[in-house]
């Protein structure tokens, strides 16, 4: 660069350029610099965007409080639950425990879910005082605590699916979004045939997710209504609205008190551990 400046100064002295010559030279330099900057930035592909989003889902061990409000169709009754969530998400497996803290008459209702790369998801539901029943892979479409959310929605990471593609752009809540379409591979188990996500690429947050059946019908839509920073200073969806196709009900989810790098043992993610959530003295 120093040699280039020296040569340029020598030429300026020798040729005594006009103002227009200086202007053209400046524009050439500016254009060259911009081209260099653009060339250094890697192109955003569907695969690397999905990989970054998938890695943010596989966030290790965490705990959180969750408020769930289920508004029934036609302005009917509203169900409000306070939930405790324990999660352990890695590349190898996902383990989840959701339990009701409030209201008192439902305290201790809980379920455990597990999914590995090799096997379809499964789990167990516990209803106090002593009812344990399995959740098979065919029941992953069932509702979570009577909400518009399914077990499958909680346990799967569709950003890690084999097939990822850009299918357009759209503005959501005045934010330009890249639409990412995810499809499961042959070895990946899901009740959905494809998922479309509207990604705020600047903040790396999905603002909308739509999930479709094998027949192409929309099954479920999830909208992010609030984005906040977690205790790792990462921007994440903090509030969500979930709707099912053909239903007037809506489920609102609001997260709080999230903590990461929580220490768990394998025994925390078992069917028997659910009994202790209803009666801590039984542990």
For the cut 60, the answer to whether the pLDDT of residue 76 exceeds it is yes
Residues 109 and 10 in one domain: no
Domains: count for the chain: 2
Same domain, 26 and 56: no
Give which of 162, 140, 135, 125 is closest to 219, Cα–Cα: 140
Same domain membership, residue 35 and residue 105: no
Q: Same structural domain for residues 228 and 275? A: yes
The pair phi, psi for residue 39, each rounded to 5°, is: -65, -30
Query: What is the tens place of the pLDDT at every residue in 88-109?
Result: 999 889 999 999 999 999 999 9
Residues 26, 111: one domain? no
| Mean pLDDT along residues 168-195 | 96
- 85 and 30 housed in the same domain: no
Q: Do 15 and 107 lie in a common domain?
A: no
DSSP β-bridge partners for residue 255? 66
What whole-number distance in Å separates Cα of residue 277 and Cα of residue 227? 30
Beta bridge partners of 243: 221
CATH number at residue 187: 2.50.20.10
Question: Of 154, 156, 137, 136, which Cα lies nearest the Cα of 145?
Answer: 154
Are 18 and 92 contained in the same domain? no
Range of the domain at 22: 2-40
Judged against a pLDDT cut of 50, whether residue 27 lies above it is answered with no
The CA angle 259-101-77, to the nearest 5 degrees, is 120
Q: What is the pLDDT of residue 32?
A: 46
Residue-level pLDDT at 269: 96
Q: What percent of the chain has pLDDT over 70?
A: 83
- Reduced to 3 states (helix: H, G, I; strand: E, B; else coil), residue 17 is coil
Predicted TM-score (pTM) of this structure = 0.82
| 77 and 175 belong to one structural domain | yes
Is the domain of 74 the same as that of 10?
A: no
23 and 162, same domain (yes or no): no
């Amino acid at each position: 660069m120093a040699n280039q400046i020296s040569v340029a100064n020598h030429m300026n002295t020798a040729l005594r350029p006009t103002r227009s010559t200086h202007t053209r030279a400046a524009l050439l330099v500016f254009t060259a610099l911009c081209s260099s900057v653009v060339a250094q930035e890697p192109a955003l592909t569907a695969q690397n965007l999905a990989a970054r989003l998938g890695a943010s889902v596989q966030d290790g061990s965490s705990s959180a409080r969750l408020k769930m409000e289920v508004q029934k169709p036609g302005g009917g009754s509203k169900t409000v639950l306070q939930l405790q969530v324990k999660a352990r998400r890695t590349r190898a497996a996902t383990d989840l425990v959701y339990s009701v803290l409030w209201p008192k008459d439902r305290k201790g209702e809980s379920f455990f879910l597990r999914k590995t790369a090799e096997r379809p998801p499964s789990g167990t539901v516990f209803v106090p005082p002593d009812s344990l029943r399995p959740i098979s892979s065919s029941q992953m479409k069932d509702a979570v605590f009577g909400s518009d959310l399914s077990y499958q929605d909680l346990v799967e990471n569709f950003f890690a699916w084999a097939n990822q593609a850009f299918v357009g752009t759209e503005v959501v809540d005045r934010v330009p979004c890249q639409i990412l379409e995810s499809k499961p591979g042959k070895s990946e188990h899901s009740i959905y045939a494809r998922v479309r996500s509207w990604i705020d690429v600047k903040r790396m947050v999905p603002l909308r997710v739509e999930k479709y059946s094998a027949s192409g019908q929309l099954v479920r839509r999830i909208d992010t209504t609030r984005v906040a920073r977690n205790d790792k200073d990462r921007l994440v969806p903090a509030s969500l609205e979930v709707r099912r196709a053909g239903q007037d009900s809506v489920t609102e989810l609001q997260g709080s008190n999230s903590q990461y790098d929580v220490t768990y043992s394998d025994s925390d993610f078992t069917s028997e551990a659910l009994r202790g959530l209803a009666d801590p003295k039984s542990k």
